[in-house]
Structure 1
Amino acid sequence: MTTVDGFGPVLNARIPGSKSLTNRAVLIAAGAPGTSRVRAPLVSDDTIAFRNALTECGTRVEGSPLDEFWEVTGTGRGPVGPARLWCADAGTAARFLPPYVATGRGTFLVNGSPQLCSRPQRPLLEALRRLGADVETSAGKGLPLRVRADGLAGGEITVDSSLSSQYLSGLLMAAPLMEQGLVVRAEALVSSPYVDMTVTLMRHFGARVDERPDGGLRVEPGGYTATDVVIEPDASTASYVFAAAAVTGRTVTVPGLAAESPQGDLRFVEVLEKAGAKVAATATATSVTGTGRLRGGFAVHMGDISDTFMTLAAITPLADAPITIHGIGHARLKESDRIAAVTQNLRACGIETHQGDDWITVHPGEPRPARIACHRDHRIAMAFSVLGLARPGTITLDDPQCVAKTFPDFHAEMRRLFPAYEHPHAVGETTEEER
């Protein structure tokens, strides 16, 4: 532990690997002939579900004893069915696997939890059908679905990306396995940094992806080349420890999360800087220091980094003026209706909050004790845990273990970094310390 003049100890946070990078890397490696190593992967409910689904597709994925890396042995072509693929709660699996299996041969049944089955898939399925894929859904909207695969020729297509950028990313990652490659254009794209991340990782594995003058992307056929990749810490997950630094006046550093990260959610630190925190980003790490005051009185567009809007909203009651967050309408279609869930929980804490189709305004106020409804959404749980750190004794989560979706050790790490952190366990639940 080091110190920064005037700001006390610097805490190095242990943030697990990026879910977005892990699942993309494993999928791309599955399409590359030979063995690739995915180093420092995230090991969580979502990534294990994705890994298991690829294993059912015939890909060999073997972990080292402590999961320091996963070895992925791909075939250089689409998978061969039949196979049943269980996606659990993983949205990336639901959006990335159908295009991938459509490039293969055989019948694939793709299913998930009731929560995942309620999430929209229509733009992706329409795009796949226009490319010639035989896709059948029981409800006509999303999972469960059946793909009768006979390869994809590819071609040229426009995909509605107003609900999720994952539709576009799924098509792009499958494109090198199509006979003619793919030219794809996004319509009303949200969360564009995730598409940039996809393209960067595809190129790392040898795919030829070119930007066209009309804004579309051309992916050449020819597949991928097996290679190794290091997964950096998850920037979305880092938002919670960075926000905790901002509201406690401490300094938190995330080693390995560099200024040039391909993860768009690292831009959350710019929002914290606007709110009064001090930020330092280098080629090897990013740090946030709280200054003892959280500023409000501004509006911010967080459409491209919407997974972090809840973190800001949850700490805004501690600011000196209201904050409005807009551009986040697609967050209503995530693990929960996140705008509604945040509004509900802040109001339960006695905080004045207003919402619209794609915005939320949160006013300052002293939170009163409340039981937070997590809606099985890991990001709701982690965001409100930061408010609970700043105001001990006010926050109880109804589902504290839903954090296992992306950060199984979240509560333990918060307690390690901030000894005052109280595990916000559910009513009737006992913590490890109490056992």
Structure 2
Amino acid sequence: MNQLTTPLIAHIPGSKSITNRALLLAAASAGDTRLSAPLISEDTLAFRTALTDLGIRITDADTGWDVRGGGRGPTVGATTSVACADAGTAARFLPPFAATGRGEFVFDGSDQLRARPLRPLVDALGALGARVSCGPAGALPLTITADGLDGGDLDLDSSFSSQYLTGLLMAAPLMRRALTVRAKALVSRPYIDMTLALMRHFGATAEEHGDGTITVRPGGYRAADLTVEPDASTASYVFAAAAVTGRSVTVPGLGGTSLQGDLGFAHVLRRTGAHVTVTDAGTTVTGSPDGALTGGFAVDMGDISDTFMTLAAIAPLADAPITIHGIGHARFKESDRIEAVARNLGALGIRTEQGPDRITIHPGATGPAAIACYRDHRIAMAFSVLGLRAGGITLDDPSCVGKTFPGFHAELRRLFPDHTTPQGI
């Protein structure tokens, strides 16, 4: 550990994953809920707007948002359009909630969101009693004619995303009978653990069986105030920045009791030589004095795939290759993230090798290049961290970070004023 380094305190906004789950659970609860310190970003505001489209009342409060829940699925008298914008969580969490209600709902989003698959969710809703039609290739726009959901036994393909399972689980307490789901080839299991913990916070009864099957009983939710912890995926960028600059960064409020699996990224950084301390009060990462990184290892990041790009972007600075695997489902996010990382590293002069669910990054000197962000906030933020050490990096879409962290570039400059940060072109 660099004993001479005074920790910098990073200001990380609230978790997107917790904010959007809590918004839906509060909307489904009977009574009023206050969400304190929610993330305010393009994705969460899109999710909030979509809920208001469904008739949920959400108002601003001094410390966050007040949500008036109806204790049931939404009921509408005329066809209701629900705009999801770019928010994948809105397109995957809200249709099951709407299907527990009454009426006709039409979900749609941006061209980017229309390209993301929904077929497993569409098929599941149909099996549970909803009338569903969707766009080409099982994607948005999605029309649901709802008269409540029956519940019952369900096999669900979860190899593309855990969000299908999350949406169905959160809707389950509003169904007519218990829902038992067998999730096949489940990816990103920590997000399901988060979902179940939040559902229990709002009073739901869920049982996990030894074979990975989950049963949720009917009975609804009760209102319960919640303070949103800092976003662990977003924290990965400042933790990585500490590692490559030889500084020490602390994220208060993101510690050992976190609901977020992506805090595991800090433990991955240990393998690169960084010193990591996790307490109940927060997490601190300290880089070696010269910012050197140790490579020569392979790591399965399937459970924390939203952070694999953070490691991949700084891997050229290591002293040996790094292989990241278990991330095939990352090809179906805002971009094909494996391909996007490989192309951008190639533009910088870095050699990579990739397979269906893996990428190997070789160390090397980088040259100047324009990073193609593909409208993907995580590509922009990950390569911004590399830019602290590698000169000549620009971003073709720096504002795309607004999806989850509108103040990202300003915070990076505040924390590391003696390092160059990438600029837009």
TM-score range, shorter chain: over 0.9
What is the CA–CA distance in structure 1 between the aligned matches of 2:320 and 2:240, rounded to whole Å? 17
Give the counterpart letter for 2:404 in structure 1. T
Give the counterpart letter for 2:68 in structure 1. T
Residue-by-residue CA offset, 1:242-283 (whole Å, 9 max, x unaligned): 000000000000000011211010000111001100000001
CA offset at residue 211 of structure 1?
Answer: 1.2
Identity %: 64
What is the CA–CA distance in structure 1 between the aligned matches of 2:322 and 2:209, rounded to whole Å? 38
What is the CA–CA distance in structure 2 between the aligned matches of 1:376 and 1:51, rounded to whole Å? 21
Partner secondary structure for residue 85 of structure 1? strand
Partner secondary structure for residue 255 of structure 2? coil
Partner secondary structure for residue 284 of structure 2? strand
**What residue in structure 2 maps to residue 386 of structure 1?**
385
Give the counterpart letter for 1:209 in structure 2. A
Comparing 259-268 and 45-54, the one that deviates more: 259-268
RMSD value, Cα: 1.1
**What residue in structure 1 maps to residue 313 of structure 2?**
314
**What residue in structure 2 maps to residue 431 of structure 1?**
none
CA offset at residue 152 of structure 1?
Answer: 0.8
Output aligned runs, 1:18-417, within 5 Å.
18-64=15-61, 68-81=63-76, 82-291=79-288, 292=290, 293-391=292-390, 393-417=391-415
CA contact (8 A) 2:276 2:285 kept: yes
Per the normalisation by structure 1, the TM-score is 0.95
CA contact (8 A) 1:336 1:375 kept: yes
CA contact (8 A) 1:382 1:403 kept: yes
What is the CA–CA distance in structure 2 between the aligned matches of 1:153 and 1:330, rounded to whole Å? 30
CA contact (8 A) 2:20 2:47 kept: yes
Give the counterpart letter for 2:135 in structure 1. S
Partner secondary structure for residue 17 of structure 1? coil
Partner secondary structure for residue 29 of structure 2? coil
What is the CA–CA distance in structure 1 between the aligned matches of 2:75 and 2:410, rounded to whole Å? 41
Residue-by-residue CA offset, 1:330-374 (whole Å, 9 max, x unaligned): 000000000000000000000011111110000001110000000
Residue-by-residue CA offset, 1:358-406 (whole Å, 9 max, x unaligned): 1000000111000000000000000000000122x32100000000000
Cα 1:220–1:343, aligned 2, differ >3 Å: closer, same or farther?
Answer: same
CA offset at residue 5 of structure 1?
Answer: 6.7
Segments of structure 1 that go 5 or more residues without pairing to the other structure are 428-435
CA contact (8 A) 1:317 1:364 kept: yes
CA contact (8 A) 1:185 1:217 kept: yes
What is the CA–CA distance in structure 1 between the aligned matches of 2:33 and 2:65, rounded to whole Å? 8
Segments of structure 2 that go 5 or more residues without pairing to the other structure are none
CA contact (8 A) 2:117 2:137 kept: no
What is the CA–CA distance in structure 1 between the aligned matches of 2:19 and 2:355, rounded to whole Å? 34
**What residue in structure 2 maps to residue 432 of structure 1?**
none
Partner secondary structure for residue 153 of structure 1? coil
CA contact (8 A) 1:389 1:420 kept: no
Give the counterpart letter for 2:420 in structure 1. E
CA contact (8 A) 1:7 1:249 kept: no
What is the CA–CA distance in structure 2 between the aligned matches of 1:330 and 1:139, rounded to whole Å? 20
Cα 1:74–1:408, aligned 2, differ >3 Å: closer, same or farther?
Answer: same
Partner secondary structure for residue 390 of structure 1? coil
CA offset at residue 85 of structure 1?
Answer: 0.7
Give the counterpart letter for 2:71 in structure 1. G
What is the CA–CA distance in structure 1 between the aligned matches of 2:210 and 2:68, rounded to whole Å? 36
Comparing 418-427 and 114-123, the one that deviates more: 418-427
What is the CA–CA distance in structure 1 between the aligned matches of 2:28 and 2:204, rounded to whole Å? 11
Cα 1:118–1:390, aligned 2, differ >3 Å: closer, same or farther?
Answer: same
CA offset at residue 140 of structure 1?
Answer: 4.6
What is the CA–CA distance in structure 2 between the aligned matches of 1:64 and 1:70, rounded to whole Å? 5
Number of equivalent positions: 421
What is the CA–CA distance in structure 2 between the aligned matches of 1:170 and 1:396, rounded to whole Å? 37
What is the CA–CA distance in structure 2 between the aligned matches of 1:40 and 1:136, rounded to whole Å? 37
Give the counterpart letter for 1:163 in structure 2. F
Give the counterpart letter for 2:295 in structure 1. G
What is the CA–CA distance in structure 2 between the aligned matches of 1:259 and 1:297, rounded to whole Å? 28
Partner secondary structure for residue 164 of structure 1? coil
CA offset at residue 6 of structure 1?
Answer: 2.0
CA contact (8 A) 1:103 1:178 kept: yes
**What residue in structure 2 maps to residue 13 of structure 1?**
10
Residue-by-residue CA offset, 1:81-113 (whole Å, 9 max, x unaligned): 232111111111110011010000001010000
CA offset at residue 423 of structure 1?
Answer: 4.3
What is the CA–CA distance in structure 1 between the aligned matches of 2:92 and 2:297, rounded to whole Å? 35
Cα 1:214–1:316, aligned 2, differ >3 Å: closer, same or farther?
Answer: closer
What is the CA–CA distance in structure 1 between the aligned matches of 2:211 and 2:294, rounded to whole Å? 41
CA offset at residue 156 of structure 1?
Answer: 1.0
CA contact (8 A) 2:251 2:284 kept: yes
CA contact (8 A) 2:99 2:130 kept: yes
CA contact (8 A) 2:2 2:287 kept: no
Give the counterpart letter for 1:419 in structure 2. P
CA contact (8 A) 2:388 2:421 kept: no
